[in-house]
Every structure is written in structure tokens, then in C-alpha cells.
Amino acid sequence: MNTGDHLIVDADLYGGSIRLFNHVSEKNGIEFSSVDCYKENVAGYIRENTKAVYIETPTNPMMNVTDIKALAEITKEHNLLLIIDNTFLSPYFQNPLDLGADIVVHSGTKYLGGHNDTLAGFLVTNREDISERFRFLIKTTGAGLAPFDCFLIQRGIKTLGVRMDRAQENAIEIAKWLKKQDIVGKVIYPGFEEHPGYEIMKKQARGFGAMLTFELTKKEYAFEILENVKMIKYAESLGGVETLITYPATQTHADVPEEIRVKNGITDCVLRMSVGIENIKDLLNELEQVFAKVRGE
């Protein structure tokens, strides 16, 4: 991207992406329009200097689902790049390039590595011109993985399918359990039929993933849950074998202005969970004990 270029980006993005765009890219003269790409008319935001559309699907943390194929038709019509962060589903569950995306972004630190023991990022494309540009930039900046990190990622990918299947099975059971709790106001998981993106997910993905978000009826309940979990770790990452729970308001999205955060649904009552591959009985037993303590039982 060059100074003066414009990007359309999803309104609900990982906080690190928002920090990069707002505090680095804008300073360097790149313009952004934040759009709810899953429901708004993206074409209406295209300008003469628009170069690309950047989305996550499902989004982090509100699990909004965008129709990739439909969006790709718009970007191709206007000769724009479509860039999709596929970290939440991984290549095992979703392949955006097959649906018309030009570039796919993965945080290899997450599901691809799978063990929370290496830092990695990937840019994937099926276009030769983009691939050559990436190759030039990697050689110029030195942004390549060290040999041992490559080994760790390759090791993780060998068990990707097994881990994703097990984590998804656990996530579905936990999401169902959470829906029955009186101190939970909302559970957001795209594997529920009532989720607005359910049918789109069935069409463009092979699974619903192991990420879920839920909203407590009081923010004090959220704090107490975070203080009392033990086997489930209160930590910011995702995609490892361990189940992690995160408080987006002060962790992943701490630098997002409050009015924008709340508009996107990230209130002080919201928790995000990355479900791991532990025994589901152990996970539910922990949640039952924690929730009982929160209720004062």
C-alpha cells in the first residue's frame, strides 16, 4: 500500500489489527473505512483510491460471519484485493482462496502451531504477481521464520485436523451448557442455528470452530469467573491445546475506543473462550464449580 491509498476493513477486528491500522498505517498516510462487512453494502464505501477489503470471518470476538464468495464478487468487479484473516477457522475448516479471496492471513501462533510455544504469521495467495511481491518484501525486510520456529509450525500442522475436531466438539458442548446458565445473557457461537451466519458457515466452511463468546448479565460475574478459573486459563491467546478465557475489554481490545468497542458489542460483561482439547467432563466440571461460586452457592 502507498500513501493516499484507502482500505475498507471490518469494524470488528482483532485489537492488534486495529492498533496497526490506527497508530501505524494511518500515520503513514493510508486511509481506512470501518464497515460491518457481514451486513452492510461494502460497495457503497468504495472510493477511487480504494485498494483492498480486509475482513475476518468469523470476527474476533463477536463471531460475525461474512459471505466470502459474495464479497469476492464485489471486490473483483471493482478490481480490489480481498484479504481475509482465517485464523479462527484455520485451513482445516475454511479455505478463502477457493471462495475468491486474493490473500489469506493466518496467525501461525494459534491453531497452526497449536501449542502456544512459537510466534509465526503467514500470508497465503494463489496469485503469482502477489506471491512475487511477498517474496521481495520478505527478502528485503528479513521477515522469515527461524529454522526451529519452522519445525514447531510443521509439527503443529501434523495434528491440526485432530485438534480442530476435538476442540470443536468441546466448544459445542460448552456453548450448549452456557446457554442454560441464568447468569449468561447471550452465547455467540456460529454453530447454533439461530446465529445469523449459520447458513453461510455451512456453505463456505467445513466446521464452526472452537471459539465462542458469551455475555454475562453483570460485569461483576465476568470478573469473578476470571478470578476463579484454574484448569481453564485466564489468558489472551487462542488456538492451543489448552482452554483459555479472555476479557476483550481490557485485553485484546483495550486500545479500541470505548464507544467503538461497545458499538461492536464488546461490553464489560463479555468473555471470549478458546476451547481446547481437554476432556469435556473436566471442562464442564470446572465451569460448574466456578459458576456455582459466582452465584454464591
**What pLDDT is stored for residue 7 in this prediction?**
97
Q: Where in the chain is the domain with CATH 3.40.640.10?
A: 6-157
CATH number 3.40.50.2300 given to 160-295? no
Beta-carbon neighbour count of residue 254 at 10 Å?
13
- How far, in Å, CA of 296 to CA of 294, rounded? 5
Q: What is the pLDDT of residue 189?
A: 98
- The model's pTM is 0.94
Return the closest-CA partner of residue 4 out of 32, 43, 23, 24.
32
Per-residue pLDDT tens for 88-146?
A: 999 999 999 999 999 999 999 999 999 999 999 999 999 999 999 999 999 999 989 99
What's the confidence (pLDDT) of residue 294? 96
User: In DSSP terms, which residues pair with 122 in a beta bridge?
Assistant: 106
CATH 3.90.1150.10, the chain: domain bounds: 160-295
Topology of the domain covering 6-157: Aspartate Aminotransferase; domain 2 (3.40.640)
- Cβ atoms of residues 107 and 96 within 8 Å: no
pLDDT of residue 254: 73
Residue 167 backbone phi and psi in degrees, to 5 = -65, -40
Under-50 pLDDT residues of the chain: none
